[in-house]
Structure 1
Amino acid sequence: MAEPAELKQRIRTDLTAAMKSRDQLVTGTLRMALAAITNEEVAGTSAKELTDPDVVRVLTREVKKRNESAEVYAGAGRSELADNERAEAAILERYLPQQLTDAELTDLVDGAVAEVAGGGEQPGMKQMGQVIKAANDKAAGRADGKRIADAVKQRLSG
């Protein structure tokens, strides 16, 4: 069985501290994050305990939602709501692994291409899905899926 998520426990501990210090923004954001984690745990046919990589995936999705909402609010001239969404995203990003630099991402994609090639010929655009899957597995939440897909596409077409 997978070991329970230490990250989830850290969020709970930080939520308690935020509640004691009456920090409403952090309290609300961490409550929403824990609700998203719980929803993921009970989704599907049977309940399961999420591992740290699973929690990272949920938090990454939540950060992406906040950033997209901030863009929509900013575009609609609602800067106070956009600022709030960005602040929530920044709080959640504290729990995510350090993001890869462009050079690290390029190295990771090169490794994924070599893995898919398996000593054979260079993969082409037909194998793009396989290369993206391998790169996502290697990235383990340290790079956005779109960023990985763009890097793979550039590598395979160039």
Structure 2
Amino acid sequence: MPIKDQLAQDIKAAMLAKDHQRRDTLRLLQAAIKQREVDERIELDDAAVVAVVDKLVKQRKDSIAAFEQGGRADLAAQEAAEMAVLQTYLPQRLSADEVATEVRAIVAELGAAGPGDMGRVMGVVKTRLAGKADMGAVSAAVKAALAG
């Protein structure tokens, strides 16, 4: 089942269960998906929807860090709850070892060597690991693979 269809069903279920937090978070996700579809005049497939979810999760992580730094534990908790709901729509994340293995395979496949090839490797890595791994960890793995 496409993610957008699952999202619509989950919104209905949250409404019936009177789970306002989940309903509001899912509506926010649905609005972000629709906004991107309208902006780009395309119909998003599951991979593009995962990219939208990943972006929203990253925004929540940044907000949590800012709220915790500002001493607003209440707002940080709300953002964490939203992030937990959003993460259910992401595919299973790869472990650090799996990311490193994938990166080494891509570096070998491209014949990349040295920091000068970072952009070329990251372009391929982003397409293959989008939504499956945290891009910060992926970037560190690419740097390590090209340095060694």
TM-score (norm. length: structure 2): 0.96
Residues 1:81 and 2:75 aligned together: yes
Q: CA deviation at 1:41?
A: 0.6
Q: What fraction of aligned residue pairs are identical, expressed as a percent?
A: 38
Question: Which letter does structure 1 place at the counterpart of 2:144?
Answer: Q
Question: Which letter does structure 2 place at the counterpart of 1:97?
Answer: P
Can you list the C-alpha shifts for 1:9-50, whole angstroms capped at 9, x where unaligned?
Answer: 101110010011110110010000000001111113xx1110
**8 Å contact 1:131–1:152 — kept in the other structure?**
yes
Question: Which letter does structure 2 place at the counterpart of 1:64?
Answer: K
Q: 2:122 aligns with which of 132, 143, 150?
A: 132
Matches within 5 A, 1:5-154: 6-44=2-40, 47-117=41-111, 122-154=112-144
Partners of 2:84 and 2:18 in 1: CA distance: 18
User: SS of the residue aligned with 1:43?
Assistant: helix
Partners of 1:85 and 1:6 in 2: CA distance: 26
Number of matched pairs: 148
Partners of 2:113 and 2:36 in 1: CA distance: 35
Can you list the C-alpha shifts for 1:139-158, whole angstroms capped at 9, x where unaligned?
Answer: 13101222111110111112
Partners of 1:147 and 1:133 in 2: CA distance: 15
Partners of 1:42 and 1:19 in 2: CA distance: 25
Question: Which letter does structure 1 place at the counterpart of 2:66?
Answer: V
Partners of 2:28 and 2:49 in 1: CA distance: 13
Give the gaps of 5 or more residues in structure 1: none
Once superposed, what is the RMSD of the aligned Cα atoms? 1.2
Moved over 2 A (4+): none
Can you list the C-alpha shifts for 1:64-86, whole angstroms capped at 9, x where unaligned?
Answer: 10111011111111101000000
**8 Å contact 2:96–2:137 — kept in the other structure?**
no
Give the gaps of 5 or more residues in structure 2: none
Partners of 1:42 and 1:150 in 2: CA distance: 34
**8 Å contact 1:108–1:138 — kept in the other structure?**
no
